[in-house]
Amino acid sequence: MRIAVNEEHNNVITEARVGFAGPQVILNTMCEANQSVYDTKCPSDFQCASYVHAHGQVGLGN
């Protein structure tokens, strides 16, 4: 993932994954390996740059 930080906001590449733990780690820890719980708690695109942008966490760059 490439991130550029400036004084106004953070920029990320649209297709980048944003997150410290991958989907399998979250499934096996937070959701105790229960796929239905994972599917309910975690939208399919929740670790994508476009998702975090839509939720006001980053600005998209080129």
> What are 10-59's pLDDT values in tens digits?
566 667 788 888 889 999 999 999 999 999 999 888 888 888 888 887 76
Look at the chain and report how many structural domains it folds into: 1
| Structural tokens at position 35 | 């796929």
How many whole angstroms separate alpha carbon 62 and alpha carbon 21?
Answer: 25
Q: Are 38 and 27 in contact (CB under 8 A)?
A: yes
Q: Please give the pLDDT value at position 54.
A: 84
Q: How much is the pLDDT for 50?
A: 81
Q: What is the pLDDT of residue 1?
A: 46
CB contact set of 61 (below 8 Å; sequence gap of 6+): 4, 11, 12, 13
pLDDT at res. 31: 95
Q: Which domain holds residue 37?
A: 3-60
